[in-house]
Every structure is written in structure tokens, then in C-alpha cells.
Amino acid sequence: MKEREELPTTKLERGKIFAKTGLKVGGNYARYMVKKGLGKGSAEAKKELNSRNAQEVFREFTKLRGTALKLAQSMSMDSAVLPDEFIEVMTQAQYSVPPMNRALVRKLIRAAFGKYPEQIFQRFGAEAIAAASIGQVHRAQLKDGREVAVKVQYPNVRDTITSDLAMAKTLVRRMVKTRFLDQYFEEISQRLLEETDYLKESEHISFFANQYQHDRIITPRAIPEWTRSNVLTMTFVEGIHLDAFLANQPSQAERDSFGQLLWDFIHEQIAGNYRTIHADVHPGNFLFREDGKLGVVDFGCVKTFPQDFRDNFLLLFRAQIERDTSTMHRLYQEVDILDPNAKDQAQQDALFDFFVRFGQTILEPYRTDRFDFDNPDYKAALNACFKEASGFNEVTGSKHFIYINKVMVGLYAVLFKLKPRITTQKSLELLNRTIDAIGNKDASLVEGV
């Protein structure tokens, strides 16, 4: 991989790159429209346009890293709106970004610990084994023989978050109508700032290792003495990424097993008492192992939901399962999707109708003992819902939906690619036990009044 120098950090420098990207994409589109006007705008030419534009965006965003590459990661999962050619290119943002040069890596480790890598480690791989939006990972061995992964953050990434989001907010304000815009950007900013704090990620790693690691799930363990805010050392987790796993032509039984592990892992978190979830569900964060265990890595983006939101979300899940429209209507108001004070009732009715249909589509896997994610009709129905949602002229919903949606879209995107047949009854029972507890708690509060 070609190495990168330090990233531009000033608002002016980064603004120029954003503008340059827009001009290149616009120029490509203009040339395509000329060809189309001359009768040369074939489907193949459109695919070429999509691919070229995606390459331009990815090339420029790798210069920016940070917030820009987080956006690219989101693009890589958005099969409902973006063309396949765009998604294919943006998938690189998940774990194969051009890394920093070796001299810079040594300099950053020296600044963090007062020692160079060769003084700390028995062995330190000069080549990054993975590089993504905020940092890159090197394989190493501690003096005591333990194999570790060392994540080194790109310099100045944290300093760019505020200016990048300010630029993004200006653009979004022109395109999207919502009364929650400030809340959405506050939420995104908070999560991104947490992702750049590797001491916080070290805490997340310990939490998940203690709560969710079991005989079929493998997570790393943080090494506190060699961890700082911008360098994180953790035990190494063996395994290969999804694309490499699929290239080995796994059996259906292997696909089913890993798909079940991923499905159950996510549902354990949603139903758990801690209300804390690994909120960065994409292929780069899961490792498929020869021993049949699923490796889970990268705990930078972790979301803990407020009690009332998590409880209302699960109560809404049950109302959708039971097709209880009156309860759904009340709960959609509780989570700010419907506005009880809205003047345009027709618009509210259309919104409610959509979310009922969307919820029924999302929850289809729970309505059968065994669900097959190699189902093009289901995938098409879900994508149709996403496209319909993008057509609404106003965005609604609590800011906490940002990461619920990210988890849901990420989970389904991975499963559509893995194509497993999974059993959903265990997860449904788990959710129902938590929902029953919520109901009992609410009932005791009423009795106590």
C-alpha cells in the first residue's frame, strides 16, 4: 500500500479538498451528460461514471481521513441509495486505506511512550496490517511473548472533527429539513470524539471482553501499560475478513454458523441490562476464524442508550410484532418520529404508514423459525423501504436512532453478503424477556402511584 503523509488539518485546507472532490465528480457527470446527449450514454457508460466518481471521492477522502472516511464507510453500506459500483469502491474505507509512512509511526509511538517501537516490543511490524478512517494497526510481540495489535492514530484527526462537521452541517442544512439537526450533529460529534480517545476505547474493550466474550466470540484484551490516548495496544485476534472468507468458498453450514453468531451477538447487546452496543457493524470489524469462532474488533464506536429510549425502542418492537397500531402511534411520538403538535396531519399519517410498513419489513426474519438471508425478494423489499425513506422532505426521530440505524443497516448488509440461514427464535425470546421486565417495571410504578 502506498503510504500517506500527515493529513491536512486546517478548515481551509480541508475545505479545498472537499471542493476539489465536488468539481471532479461534477466534471465527470457533465462529460457523461454530453455523451448521453450524443446517444453514447449506455448502461456501461453509466457504470463507468459511477466507478470513476467513487474512485475520485475515495482518493480525496483518504487525504482527509477522519470524518470524511467515516462518511465513506457509511456509503459502503448504503446499498439502498447508492449504485453498486460506488459501494464496491467505498468498501475500501473499512480496512484498506493507504497507511502513514513508517517514520511517522515511529515518531508517534516515541511521543506517546518516550520510547521507539523496537525499545518497547520484541517485534514490531513496520507494515500496517490494516488502515482505516482514524488509525492504522500494526502487528507486534511484547517482550513477554504475547502477540498484540498496536493501533496508531493519524496525527491531528481529533482536531479536524469540529471543522469537518461544521462544513457537513452547512451542506446538510441546505438539503435536509429537520428540527433535530443540531441534536444529530451533537450526537455524531460526541461519538467521533470518543473514537479518537484510545483510552476510552480501552475501557470499551474491557467491558465487551467481560460481558460478551464466550466460547464462540473472541474479543481482544487491552494492554494498559502500552496504551495512551492516541496509541492502543491490545491482544491480537487471529482471523480473516469477510471478503477473504467468502473467497475460500465456505460451505452453507459455515455461513450459517457465523451468521448465527453475529446475529446473536448483536441481540445480546440490545437486550442487555447495560444498554451498550458495538455501534460500528461493518465487515472490517469482524474476523472469521478457522476454529469457527467469530472475532470482534474495533471498539471505538460504542453507544450506550438512555434507559427510556432503549425501553421505548423495545416496546415498539413488540408493538410491531403484534401489529398493535395504537401502541405504535403513541411510541412513535415518544421517540420523536411523529410530532403530536404538527399542523400537517396528512404528512404525519403518511409518515406513520411508512414506519409501520418499514417496521414490518425489518421484522420479517423474526416471524419464522429459520430465515434465509439469501433471499433477493426480501433484500429488494428492504431496499425499496430505504429508497422511500430517502424521499421524505423532513427527517424525524430521536438522535439515538442514528446508531440504532447504523447497527441495523450494518448487520443486514453483512448478512446479505454472507447469505446465512439463521434461527431467530433465541433472539426473540431474549428480547421478550427484557420487554416483559420493562412492562413489569412500568406496572409497579403505576401501582405505586
DSSP codes, 66-130: HHHHHHHHHHHH-TTTS-HHHHHHHGGGGTBPPPBPHHHHHHHHHHHHSS-HHHHEEEE-SS-SE
Q: What would the pLDDT profile of 396-431 be if each residue is shown by its tens digit?
A: 889 999 889 889 988 999 999 999 999 999 999 999
Decide if pLDDT at 160 tops 90.
no
d(CA 273, CA 94) in angstroms, rounded, equals: 30
Q: For a pLDDT cut of 90, what percent of the chain falls above it?
A: 53
Q: What would the pLDDT profile of 234-248 be if each residue is shown by its tens digit?
A: 999 999 999 999 999
Residue 302: closest CA among 190, 398, 156: 190
Are residues 132 and 120 in contact, defined by beta-carbon separation less than 8 angstroms? no
d(CA 51, CA 429) in angstroms, rounded, equals: 44
Lookup result for grid cell 398493535:
324
Residue 152: closest CA among 173, 131, 171, 137: 137
B/e letters for 376-396, b = 16+ CB within 10 Å, e = fewer, are: eebbeebbebeeebeeeeebb
Q: For residue 18, what pLDDT is reported?
A: 56
Q: For residue 96, what pLDDT is reported?
A: 56
Residue 401: closest CA among 335, 350, 331, 327: 335
C-alpha distances in angstroms, 31 versus 49, 280, 371, 375?
9, 37, 45, 37
Q: Can you give the C-alpha Rg of the chain in angstroms?
A: 23
HSE-up of residue 290 (Cα within 13 Å, Cβ side):
1
d(CA 213, CA 95) in angstroms, rounded, equals: 23
Are residues 276 and 269 in contact, defined by beta-carbon separation less than 8 angstroms? yes
Better-predicted residue by pLDDT, 13 or 228: 228
Are residues 113 and 226 in contact, defined by beta-carbon separation less than 8 angstroms? yes
HSE-up of residue 276 (Cα within 13 Å, Cβ side):
14
Long-range residue pairs from 188-194, CB within 8 A, at least 24 positions apart, any chain: 188/402, 189/161, 189/162, 189/165, 191/279, 191/301, 191/303, 191/403, 192/66, 192/67, 192/70, 192/161, 192/165, 193/158, 193/161, 194/300, 194/301, 194/302
C-alpha distances in angstroms, 366 versus 328, 361, 371, 374, 423?
18, 10, 8, 16, 9
Q: What would the pLDDT profile of 315-332 be if each residue is shown by its tens digit?
A: 999 999 999 999 999 999
Model confidence, pTM: 0.79
Decide if pLDDT at 63 tops 80.
no
- Average pLDDT estimate for 440-445: 54
Q: For residue 51, what pLDDT is reported?
A: 62
**Coil vs helix vs strand at 231:** strand
Return the number of other C-beta atoms located less than 10 Å from residue 405's C-beta. Answer: 12
Q: What would the pLDDT profile of 99-153 be if each residue is shown by its tens digit?
A: 788 999 999 999 999 999 999 999 999 999 987 778 889 999 999 999 999 999 9
- Average pLDDT estimate for 173-197: 83
Q: For residue 90, what pLDDT is reported?
A: 45
Decide if pLDDT at 177 tops 60.
yes
C-alpha distances in angstroms, 283 versus 66, 95, 242, 287?
18, 9, 6, 8
Decide if pLDDT at 85 tops 60.
no
Return the number of other C-beta atoms located less than 10 Å from residue 308's C-beta. Answer: 12
Q: For residue 77, what pLDDT is reported?
A: 42
Q: Where does the pLDDT of residue 164 fall: very low under 50, low under 70, confident under 90, or very high at 90 and above? A: confident
Decide if pLDDT at 36 tops 90.
no
d(CA 426, CA 335) in angstroms, rounded, equals: 27
Are residues 277 and 269 in contact, defined by beta-carbon separation less than 8 angstroms? yes
Better-predicted residue by pLDDT, 160 or 120: 120
Q: Where does the pLDDT of residue 392 fall: very low under 50, low under 70, confident under 90, or very high at 90 and above? A: confident
Q: What would the pLDDT profile of 188-199 be if each residue is shown by its tens digit?
A: 888 888 999 999
The contacts of residue 171 (CB under 8 Å, 6+ apart) are none
Decide if pLDDT at 13 tops 50.
yes
Task: Report residue 58: phi and psi, to 5°.
Answer: -65, -40
Q: What would the pLDDT profile of 199-224 be if each residue is shown by its tens digit?
A: 999 999 999 999 887 789 999 999 99
Decide if pLDDT at 52 tops 50.
yes
HSE-up of residue 78 (Cα within 13 Å, Cβ side):
16
Strands 294-296 and 217-218: parallel
